[in-house]
Amino acid sequence: MFKHWFCQTNKLLCINGSSTMNRIAECCCGQLTIEVLGDPEMHGVCHCNNCKKRTGSAFGMSSYFDKSQIVKTSGEANCFSFHNTEKNHDQKRHFCTVCGTTLFWSVSTMPKLTGIAGGCFVKSPLSEPTYSANQANICSWLGLPRQWQQDA
């Protein structure tokens, strides 16, 4: 189970009298983008096999935004839908039709949130992740900051 936390940012955009960060995540070729307002509801790394396969790396860095924070998406995306038997939920992954980057996704057990690949916010990077999920699958050579929350 994920827990919620908030990230600090240093670039702010004033909208309707309040300060909110405006961020754009983009795929490798720049054809597919998703724009969000504010900080993610959840921001961390995951060591499950599903995230490892999604990223081709030792873990996935995921940021989850409330659907109300999504300003717009642009570009063409394909969708890969499947049932994750390990976690017993359905996922829909949206990826670029040109370069194949998985940019954003939805998970049936978190219907109000949209997941976005944390590393795709290159022009306005997210703060340091503070959460590590699925520790049982962590690569033995990988060390993480002790102050991060850790889920089994």
CA distance 122 to 25: 7
pLDDT at 150 > cutoff 60: yes
DSSP 125: P
Per-residue pLDDT at 18: 42
pLDDT in tens, 42-90: 999 988 888 888 888 888 899 999 999 999 999 999 999 999 888 899 9
DSSP 79: E
Q: State how beta strands 42-46 and 131-133 pair.
A: parallel
Assign 14 a pLDDT band (cuts: 50, 70, 90). very low
